[in-house]
Amino acid sequence: MLHVKNLTFSYNKTPVLSAISFNAKQGEHVAIIGESGSGKSTLLKVLYGEYDLDKGHVFWNDEEILGPKYNLVVGYDFMKYVAQEFDLMPFITVEENIGKFLSRFYPEEKQRRTEELLEVVELTKFSKTKVKTLSGGQKQRVALARALAKQPEIILLDEPFSHIDNFKKQSLRRSVFRYLKEHNITCVVATHDKEDVLGFADRMIVLNDNKIAVNDYPETLYKNPKTPLIASFFGEFNVLNNQIVYAHQLKVVDQSELKAIVKQSFFKGHYYLIEADLNGEQVFFEFSMQANKGTELFLKVIEH
Ligand code: ADP
Ligand code: MG
C-alpha cells in the first residue's frame, strides 16, 4: 500500500503541493488529474523520491520513500516511474532498451519477458529497430515497457499516452492497464485525459490550488461533479440555476420553458454540439441534427 501523509513540497519557496494525503492499495489504479501546472508531475516525482519533502511522509508498505538528501541513488526496485519526458538509450534497439535492466545470466527468461512486454505495448514489429529512429509515441511505449521489465510493485505514469496517436491509443490503454491489473501492480497515473480515467481508474484525485480538491470514485465524480473544474474534465457543461448540467443532459423537446436560440453547430460525429443563447446566457447541448443560426429550440434537463 502506498501511504502519502501530509506531503508538502515547494520549489524554492513556491509552494506546489500542500498537505497532500491519500492511500493506494496494492493493485489499485489511482488517477491524478488537474489543470496544467497544478502539480501532477511534481507529485509523481516527489512520490518517486526525486525531491526532498518540506513536510510529510511517503511510505510503500513499511518502507519510507526518501529524497536525495537521504538516498545516494534516487529510486527503489519496487517502484518505477515513467516521466512525461522519457529518457531512453537512442543508439540501441527497442528490445535492448527493454531488456537493459534484466539479468543477462538468464537469456531465455530475458527473451521471454522482453517479448511479452513488446506485445503489451504493441511494438513486437519494432523489436530490432534503433530507438533514435522511432516516433515520439513509439518511444513512449518503449519507456513503458522498460519500466515494467522488472515487474515493479508500483508504477508512476506521467501522462503515459500523451504522445500516442488516436489510432493506437485506445487499444494500448486497454492493454497496459489490463497488464497492470492482472499483475496486481499499483499505478498512480497523472493525466488530463478523461479516457485514461473512465473505465480504468479505481479512484480519482483532483489537484487544485496546491491541494487535493476531491478524492473519490470516478463514477461518483462524473455523476455529481461538485465544481465546474471537475465537470470540465469530463466534457462540455453548463451551469443552470447553480446546477451543473452536461451538454448531453440537455435534450431538445417540442415545447418547454427553456427556449434557446442557436448560435453555432459543431459536427461531433454521432451528434452536433450546439452553442446557443438561453435568456442571455450561453448554453451548450447535443442534438442529432445540424441547426442553423437563429433557430429556436426548446430544451429539457434529463438525468444521466
Ligand atoms: P503539471 O504536471 O500538473 O502540469 P507541474 O508539476 O509540472 O504541473 O508543475 C507545477 C508547478 O511547479 C508549475 O507552476 C510549474 O511551473 C512549477 N515547476 C515545475 N517544475 C519546476 C522546477 N523544476 N522548478 C521550479 N518550478 C517548477
Ligand atoms: Mg505534468
Supply the pTM of this predicted model: 0.92
Multiple choice CATH, 2-223, 3.30.1330.10, 3.20.20.70, 3.30.530.20, 3.40.50.300? 3.40.50.300
Cβ-count burial 217-252 (b if 16+ within 10 Å, e if not): ebeebbeebeeebbbebbebbbebeeebbbbbbbeb
pLDDT category of residue 73 using cuts at 50, 70 and 90: confident
- What are the distances in angstroms from CA 131 to CA 25, 44, 221, 285? 35, 25, 40, 45
Numbers of helices and strands, H then E, in the chain:
7, 17
Pair 213, 206: CB distance under 8 Å: yes
pLDDT the model gives residue 85: 80
Ligand 1 site, residue 39, Cβ cutoff 6 A: yes
Name the closest-CA residue to atom 24, ligand 1: 11
CATH topology of domain 236-301: OB fold (Dihydrolipoamide Acetyltransferase, E2P) (2.40.50)
- Best mutation site among 16, 156, 188 for ligand 1 pocket (most ligand atoms within 8 Å of CB): 16
Domain residue extents for the chain: 2-223, 236-301
Q: Average model confidence (pLDDT) for the chain?
A: 95
Q: How deeply is 54 buried, as exposed, middle or buried, from its count of CB atoms within 10 A (0-12, 13-18, 19+)?
A: middle
Ligand nearest to the CA of 37: 1
**Position 190 pLDDT exceeds 90:** yes
Angle at alpha carbon of residue 248, lines to 244 and 249, rounded to 5°: 55
Q: What is the mean pLDDT of residues 92-100?
A: 93
Distance between CA atoms of residues 148 and 81, nearest Å: 10
pLDDT the model gives residue 166: 86
Distance between CA atoms of residues 21 and 235, nearest Å: 27
Ligand 1 site, residue 11, Cβ cutoff 6 A: yes
Ligand 1 site, residue 160, Cβ cutoff 6 A: no
* Ligand 1 centroid to residue 37 C-alpha, Å: 6
Ligand 1 site, residue 191, Cβ cutoff 6 A: no
**What is the rounded end-to-end Cα distance, in angstroms, of the chain?**
34
Ligand 1 site, residue 75, Cβ cutoff 6 A: no
Ligand 1 site, residue 186, Cβ cutoff 6 A: no
Q: How many residues does the chain have?
A: 304
Q: How deeply is 271 buried, as exposed, middle or buried, from its count of CB atoms within 10 A (0-12, 13-18, 19+)?
A: middle
Grid coordinates belonging to 241: 440555476
DSSP character at residue 93: B
Pick the atom of ligand 1 nearest to 34's CA.
3
Distance between CA atoms of residues 114 and 268, nearest Å: 40
**Position 304 pLDDT exceeds 80:** no
Question: Which span out of 30-39, 66-75, 103-112 was modeled with the highest average pLDDT?
Answer: 30-39
